[in-house]
Amino acid sequence: MMPQVTTLSNKERTKLPHQEMPLRPAESRVLNFDEVPVGYSNDQALSESLRCLHCKKPACVGACPVGIDIPGFIRLIEEGDPAAAAKKIRETNFLPAVCGRVCPQDKQCQAVCVVGRKNIPVGIGNLERYAADYERTNGTLEIPVIQEPTGKRVAIIGSGPAGLSAAYELTIRGHEVVVFEASHRAGGVLVYGIPRFRLPLRIIDEDVRFLTRLGVRFVYNMVIGKVLTLEDLLHQEGFDAVMIGTGAGLPRMLNVPGSNANGVYSANEYLTRIYLMEANHFPKYSTPVSSGKKVAVIGAGNTAMDVLRTAKRLGAEPTCYYRRSHDEAPARSEELKHAEQEAIGWRWLSNPVEFIVDENNFVKQIKCERMELSEPDETGRRKPLPTGNFFVEDCDTVVMSLGCSVNPIIPSTDAEIRTNKWGVITVDSNTCQTSKKGVFAAGDAITGGSTVILAMGQAKKAAAAMHEYLVGKPVSASFEVLNGVPATVS
Amino acid sequence: MTDRVNQILQKFDAHIVESVTQTLDKVKALTDLTQDEKLDLAKNLCELFFHAHHTSSTLMPKLAVTTGKRIAKFGPEMIPFLIDEVMEADGESAVYFGKALSRFGVRGLDYTLARLNDCKDQDHDLINLMQVLSYFKIPETANAIPTILAQAQHPNHQVTAMALYTVGRLTQKLQTSAFSESTRSAMFDHIFRFLSGVQGLVRKNAARTLGKMLRRGLLSHENEKKLYNAFLSITGRDEHHNWDRAFIVRREAEDFLPYFHAETAPVKLYTQSFKILSKRLLCTNTYHFTIDAPLIARKIEAGQFLIVRPHIFSERIPLSVCGWNREKGSVSIIVSAVGKTTTEINTMGVGDAFQDVVGPLGERSIIPADAGTCVVIGGGYGTGAIIPTAKDLKALGCKVIGIVGARSEDSLIMIPELKQACDEVVVTTNDGSQGIKGFVTDALREVLHRENVTYVLAVGPVPMMKAVSEMTRPANITTYVSLNAIMVDGTGMCGACRVTVGGETKFACFHGPDFDGHKVDFENLMKRQKMFVKEEKLAFERMK
């Protein structure tokens, strides 16, 4: 018998055990691309929700880039109404099923959770996922109230997290929204970059489908800047405002001998071939990926974890090469943990200096220099220093997961769009408006590489400012770089 | 049974066309029929309704309609009999009963409606009676629409679907003046709800009926707008996501999209059909395709390329463009079957559509600032790709010399088109079957000797482009080559198309595809092109 909700004191709540997210066993999950965490059961969700202390000033809400009412939705789960909880999340976050799965909660809401000071923090992400999954599987999703049509038209470039959120925010405000997508599938990085075992495709498809039900139009195969320019959209096609959500889609490569050898992929290419073009079903799907037996993955970010685990599922022996140590790995702790469970090789403090190729230019070995960490500098980060010791290991595929730069197609086809020296689009930090009137930007295009939830937070901000702009209120336009330094796995 | 009726019916066989024709003629000749005689005749003739759709004869359905006409001539007292028979009928037979009953006009309508109200729980009867109602053409039928739509609330979705179908048929048949303003909006509101029904058949019929209302101009401006948005959502304007799970529903919505008025659908849908408008054999395994892609055709420039995905299982491959027509909205490509995907493309015919065509990608060809003597060189199917640039050069006022290389006379392509774009065309073949025997470099050497060439563009196999670049290097003639690296997305996202130019790594998809030939690392490109040779071979063999 569950204890009565209202009678639990805070002390009793803190004593309740944390509910671990049930995972599929590592031995069997590496055999296919099915989702690894299976999700909370009803009882687990209820037990976990009871651990929330409902702080008067909840720190978790402040730590959430979109400001979800976290204690509010947990209270609704506690009261046994997950449908209402999902509705509550949807007030601020349009993609709860996605965020519950891919958000770095351990660096955001769960990092500041009061319970977490002495104990394991409340599983906010898992509860969010539970509510969203309940909503989806039980069909309780309601069509939100859509404001009277304003007669204004908005073009959104890119259908990734930023584009989808902005499309939602602007549609419910009564604007007509058209989303232009360059590839043949909506979802952007959610489709081509995040593995299916972390985020099943059906979740993205449902969210996209939901948007089309609201009246959002998706147009595929449209590379804006090429087939239509920003000028065309604003002056010829009659759009009143444009939002750029093109993301950071320009892979960075190591500039060492052998970088252009055969069998050397960028993480983007490797994941795109598999997840967008279904290369794991080759030759049923014609796109090949020559994933060999020994896959060397350079970097230790979230994407690197995705590549390692994907390679494992393709039957390879993946090994991670990172020039710092385990503790500095930028990947989300959960991802790192899941990857470690899956029998993957690790070469910490190893800096690749050369990819040795055979006579046909196929990579056959990787040469690394052993590194050591310096004392923490003023930023607190420990720099890797070369030791002069080298080692060579066999590999037949190399995947570089070193982060991305911003895709230059749009800035290069419109002179009015200003960028900083890394190619990141400069915007006003309050309104997300770019240097071109009526053009806004959000997501990785203005940060140079960040998380899904941060992109969504910016998209919300941009959408609010766009609404003001569209209904005729003045929008401030002091251009400064928002978080202008691109995130790198250095 | 009277003798004369008996005589006629003895020879009547509902399965034989001649027998039916003769019987009908004899029935027509009869006069002063009594009530019983009429019933006897009707009972027997009705048999035909149950058989007409089983026969392979195309005449039989027509005869069944004529039979209905004869029975209708017997007078309104036949109505109860026919209605009783309808209850026994299957769906196809009910059509003929409907056609017969519709000839009784208002009386037939009233009687059918009365029976409709009587048999609320008989699903089969309801369906047949509604089928019958759909054949009435008198304007009064419009008043029956609320009654029919009331049946749509039936728990059996087959009944609902039939009710919607009936209303759809009536919408199409009756004169628009038969529908009052209030009927129209009530109809719309009622049917629109069924667009989100659970059963695909119900959604399909609702979409079809609403589409017919739209086509006949029965929708108010707001309702039209509402329907437009619903149809866009159903179709998703995209077949990748199965917006409405049922294909039949999507197809209905798709069919009616062109009927929306311009003020309702002001937004261009940005859809390009990617249909093949023409296909022409150039040489063995090499075809010239014209594809419908108006948005791409409006923007494309010489040197840019397309990414093509012929169907959902295939890969995305880059193809260069050999021409376009901005007015007609078409682009032309040349496809030579060398692997799986290109072979698949070459099996497509006029009217087939590509799943995806993305473009225009890459930068346009760099052409010299001042007019001079220019040489454009095409090897193999690269011959097509140099034509747009040749045209641009000529428009600039340059003297354009085209050099074409091929294995033999049979594999020379696009020569007439190139001759139009150039001042002079030099043909080389490896076996000497036409023009100079040798390679394009042999022709180029001769041209460089006699002309003051300032600009060279080479498109074709990598060894050819390399040889051309080596030849122009001593005289430092501006030389561009178009690199056909392996690509996936074509927008710079994946980095598969990395090429080394002047010691730097460049992406062929957006820094190129044209690069300075003197700086390109051709060795690396050639090796990178062989990255998937094993897989390509496997896929190609599996295909066969």
If you average pLDDT over residues A458-481, what whole number do you get?
76
A126: region left, alpha or beta (phi > 0 left; psi from -120 to 50 alpha): alpha
What pLDDT is recorded for position A481? 42
Of B266, B361, B498, Cβ closest to residue A226: B361
Per-residue pLDDT of chain B (544 residues; tens, 9 = 90+): 677 888 888 888 878 888 888 888 888 888 778 888 888 888 888 888 887 777 777 788 888 888 888 888 888 888 888 888 888 888 888 888 888 888 888 888 888 888 888 877 788 888 888 888 999 888 888 888 888 888 888 888 889 999 999 999 998 888 888 888 888 888 898 898 888 878 888 999 999 999 999 888 888 888 888 888 888 778 765 444 446 677 788 778 877 877 777 666 655 567 777 888 899 998 888 999 999 888 899 889 998 999 999 988 888 999 999 999 988 889 999 998 888 889 999 998 887 888 889 989 998 888 888 878 899 999 887 888 899 999 999 988 889 999 999 888 888 888 888 998 899 999 999 888 888 888 989 899 889 888 888 899 999 889 899 999 999 988 889 999 998 888 888 888 888 888 889 888 888 888 888 999 999 998 888 888 888 888 888 888 887 6
Of A209, A249, A255, Cβ closest to residue B493: A249
- Cβ neighbors of B427 (< 8 A, separation 6 or more) are B404, B406, B412, B415, B434, B435, B436
- Could you identify the residue written with the tokens 């939002």? A243
Domains A10-138 and A153-249+404-470 share a fold: no
> One-letter amino acid identity for B117?
N
SS3 A229: coil
Residue A227 has pLDDT above 80, yes or no: yes
For residue A220, give the nearest of B137, B270, B128, B41 by alpha carbon.
B270
CB contact under 8 A, A250 and B532: no
Cβ(A320)–Cβ(A303) under 8 Å?
Answer: no
CATH topology of domain A153-249+404-470: FAD/NAD(P)-binding domain (3.50.50)
pLDDT tens for each residue of B326-351: 888 899 999 988 888 899 999 988 87
- Cβ neighbors of B223 (< 8 A, separation 6 or more) are B185, B188, B192
Q: B513 preceded by cis ω (within 30°)?
A: yes
Cβ(B92)–Cβ(B51) under 8 Å?
Answer: no
Tokens for B113, please give them. Answer: 């409606």
What is A10-138's CATH number?
A: 1.10.1060.10
The complex's ipTM works out to 0.85
pLDDT interval class at A486 (50, 70, 90): very low
pLDDT tens for each residue of A315-358: 889 999 999 888 888 888 888 989 999 878 999 999 999 999 99
Work out the angle at residue B449's Cα, subtended by the Cα atoms of residues B446 and B452, and round it to the nearest 5 degrees: 120
Distance between CA B452 and CA B401 in Å, rounded? 12
Q: B477-496 burial by CB neighbour count: b if 16+ within 10 A, else e?
A: bbbbbbbbbbbbbbbbbbbb
If you average pLDDT over residues A469-485, what whole number do you get?
59
Distance between CA B300 and CA B363 in Å, rounded? 10
pLDDT tens for each residue of B61-71: 888 888 888 88
Question: By the CB < 8 Å criterion, does B432 face chain A?
Answer: no
Q: Where are the domains of chain A?
A: 10-138, 153-249+404-470, 260-400
Interface test with A, best of B307, B489, B522 (most A CBs within 10 A): B489
In DSSP notation, B494-536 reads S-TTEEEETTEEEETTTT-SEEETTTB-HHHHHHHHTTTHHHH
Cβ(B510)–Cβ(B361) under 8 Å?
Answer: yes
> One-letter amino acid identity for B424?
E
CB contact under 8 A, B531 and A262: yes
Q: A158-181 burial by CB neighbour count: b if 16+ within 10 A, else e?
A: bbbbbbbbbbbbbbbbbbbbbbbb
CB contact under 8 A, B267 and A217: yes
pLDDT interval class at A480 (50, 70, 90): very low
CB contact under 8 A, A250 and B299: no
Torsions phi, psi for B333 (to 5 deg): -130, 160
CB pairs under 8 A between A and B: 165
State the pairing for strand pair B317-325/B330-336. antiparallel
For residue B271, give the nearest of B230, B232, B323, B322 by alpha carbon.
B232
What pLDDT is recorded for position A3? 46
> One-letter amino acid identity for B374?
C
Distance from CA of A63 to the nearest CA of B (A): 31
Residue A194 has pLDDT above 70, yes or no: yes
For residue B299, the Cα-to-chain-centroid distance in whole angstroms is: 24
Distance between CA B49 and CA B52 in Å, rounded? 5
Distance from CA of A120 to the nearest CA of B (A): 39
Distance between CA A344 and CA A313 in Å, rounded? 11
CATH topology of domain B3-267: Leucine-rich Repeat Variant (1.25.10)
pLDDT tens for each residue of A442-460: 988 888 878 888 898 889 8
- Could you identify the residue written with the tokens 């919607």? B164
CATH topology of domain B373-529: Rossmann fold (3.40.50)
What pLDDT is recorded for position B265? 61
CB contact under 8 A, A184 and B267: no
- Cβ neighbors of A80 (< 8 A, separation 6 or more) are A46
Give contacts of B 266-305 with A, CB under 8 A: 266-272, 295-296, 299, 304
A111 class by beta-carbon count within 10 Å (0-12 exposed, 13-18 middle, 19+ buried): middle
Neighbouring C-beta atoms of residue A116, cutoff 10 Å: 17
Torsions phi, psi for B425 (to 5 deg): -125, 125
What pLDDT is recorded for position B257? 78
For residue B128, give the nearest of B109, B150, B112 by alpha carbon.
B112
Cβ(B471)–Cβ(B445) under 8 Å?
Answer: yes
Distance between CA B496 and CA B509 in Å, rounded? 9
Cβ(A489)–Cβ(A403) under 8 Å?
Answer: yes
> One-letter amino acid identity for B379?
G
Distance from CA of B283 to the nearest CA of A (A): 26
- Cβ neighbors of A350 (< 8 A, separation 6 or more) are A321, A322, A323, A368, A369, A370, A371, A391
Cβ(A364)–Cβ(A424) under 8 Å?
Answer: no
Give all strands of the β-sheet with A350-357 in edge-to-edge order.
Answer: A350-357, A363-373, A384-394
CATH topology of domain B272-361: Elongation Factor Tu (Ef-tu); domain 3 (2.40.30)
Interface test with B, best of A221, A254, A268, A289 (most B CBs within 10 A): A221
Distance between CA A308 and CA A199 in Å, rounded? 16
CB contact under 8 A, B488 and A251: no
CB contact under 8 A, A226 and B268: no
Of B236, B524, B531, Cβ closest to residue A290: B531
> One-letter amino acid identity for A427?
V
- pTM for the whole thing? 0.74
> One-letter amino acid identity for B447?
V
A350 class by beta-carbon count within 10 Å (0-12 exposed, 13-18 middle, 19+ buried): buried
For residue A127, give the nearest of A250, A37, A57 by alpha carbon.
A37
Alpha helices (H) along B257-305? 294-299
What is the location of CATH 1.25.10.10 in chain B?
Answer: 3-267
Give contacts of B 123-162 with A, CB under 8 A: none
What is the location of CATH 2.40.30.10 in chain B?
Answer: 272-361
Residue A417 has pLDDT above 60, yes or no: yes
Distance between CA B285 and CA B381 in Å, rounded? 11
Distance from CA of A333 to the nearest CA of B (A): 27
Tokens for B248, please give them. Answer: 């039949």
Q: For the ranges A66-70, A297-301, A471-475, B368-372, which has the lowest average pLDDT?
A: A471-475
> One-letter amino acid identity for A37?
P
Tokens for B87, please give them. Answer: 């209850």
Give all strands of the β-sheet with B276-283 in edge-to-edge order.
Answer: B276-283, B286-292, B330-336, B317-325, B305-309, B356-361
Tokens for B108, please give them. Answer: 């037939």
If you average pLDDT over residues A190-202, what whole number do you get?
90
Give contacts of B 347-406 with A, CB under 8 A: 355-361
For residue A466, give the nearest of A238, A139, A173, A140 by alpha carbon.
A173
Long-range CB contacts (< 8 A, 24+ apart) of A435-441? A435/A479, A436/A230, A437/A477, A438/A234, A438/A240, A438/A241, A438/A242, A438/A469, A439/A230, A439/A234, A439/A241, A439/A242, A439/A243, A439/A244, A440/A241, A440/A242, A440/A243, A440/A244, A440/A465, A440/A466, A440/A469, A441/A243, A441/A244, A441/A245
Residue A186 has pLDDT above 80, yes or no: yes
SS3 B192: helix
What pLDDT is recorded for position A398? 93
Selected residue with higher pLDDT from B182 and A476: B182
If you average pLDDT over residues A155-184, what whole number do you get?
92
According to DSSP, the residues that pair with B288 across neighbouring strands are B280, B334
Tokens for B136, please give them. Answer: 């009435």
In DSSP notation, A230-287 reads HHIIIIIS--SEEEE-----EE----STTTTSBTEEEHHHHHIIIIIS-GGGTTTSS-
What is the location of CATH 3.40.50.80 in chain B?
Answer: 373-529
CB contact under 8 A, A284 and B313: yes
- Give A260-400's CATH code, choosing from 2.40.70.10, 3.40.50.300, 3.50.50.60, 1.20.1090.10: 3.50.50.60
For residue B149, give the nearest of B109, B183, B124, B108 by alpha carbon.
B183
Minimal-distance CA residue of chain B relative to A284:
B313
